[in-house]
Structure 1
Amino acid sequence: MLVIKSKGDDVYIEGLKKRDPETYEIVFKMYYKALVLFVERHIGDRNMAKDLVQDIFLKLYESCASFPNEFNLKSWLYCLARNAAIDYLRHLKVMDRNKFLMAEAMLYAADLDKCVDEKLYAKIQSAIETLPDQCKRIVLMSVVEGKKYWEISNELGITMNTVRTQVARGYKKLREQLSDDNMAIFLLMGLFMIAKERETEQQY
């Protein structure tokens, strides 16, 4: 039976680059369970989480030969896990829109080990309700309904510059209101980051 010793990433990288089976097995045992739990927490499906993590280790085996000598293996694995969970959520037909947005935003939070609960999401929703009418409507359409700026512009009969301005103002006001709650700020950043990436993808 393998004994997992405490070693630096550089030792594992050296073995992985040589495609050493023992090193690969050590790395698998070190990270597999934690990655499965991480993905499962965000997508809510244990079996699917296992499948996604297995794919990650397949990518590890395929990519490890090209790793640089100084390489943060743990960050790379968690980055792949986060991206896999996001891709899964984006392609999943989720009935509960709020649950979907909350789960997806959690994956962008600065602290990957923090959990976001429904009360925190409700706190952000309450803050959105205090925005001026036009700003609130645009923020809801962009962040909650997932509409792109041009769609909002057409639907409301306003310019895209107005949409961008109102989204920016809404984000600023919400940050000010939620400034006493770091996790609410993390979730808020995640929601607006998703909307921004969606807009970037459209432009591309």
Structure 2
Amino acid sequence: MKDSAYWNIFISGQKQILEVIYTKYYDHLLNYGLKLYPDMDFVKDCIQDLFVKLYSSKNIKPTEHVRSYLLKSIRNIIIDKLNKDKLQITDKDALFHLIVDEDELEKKLGANDEELLLLKKLLQAYNQLSENQKQIIYFRYIQELPHKEIAEILDINEQSSMNLASRALTKLRRELQNKNKQAIISSEDLRKSLTLLFMLTNKAIYSVKNQDLHPAWSAESSSL
């Protein structure tokens, strides 16, 4: 069943289907939320608030893009809660900043020193991108969203999303080639390497010990 079908069931009044939507998208929302504000408990509370709000709302509109709708919603909730609680992100450049354990890189790549060196350089180059460029890379290569949905989340038009992604990839490729004069990196190889970096970052996030990363949520608990 398509996500939009689940959503239509939900807005028709069968709110128990939210449990399915919650289970499917919890990890996506957690990962994105931690990119916006790196506090696990804070983000988990915001996700709970989002689904309680959805359950209680009587004016939810249909959508074909459930994931982007939820990502935009959690973004708004996090920003509103930060403002309400007078919390601030102390270093704006830390947004969407990737931290990858070098031991994980070496374990993943084994004896492939050339690819290991490339990924280390790519990580450094990525973290030098602007916040908007990092967001575009994140949405395209970890969330794998089309530009139409990225534009909806960031409140820009689709062409602007495409242009921003193109400039970000061009900048990454240029930075890598500046660091290694002999390297000619194709767009496809660059995309694969970015995907691997994000995958390793996700592994670090989801392997946090002694954390209940996927707490249960039910429609019944929200109706109490």
Answer whether TM exceeds 0.5 for this pair.
Answer: no
TM range (shorter): 0.3 to 0.5
Q: Using structure 1 for the length normalisation, give the TM-score.
A: 0.44
- TM-score of the two chains, using structure 2 as the length reference: 0.40
The structure that is helix-richer by fraction is: 1
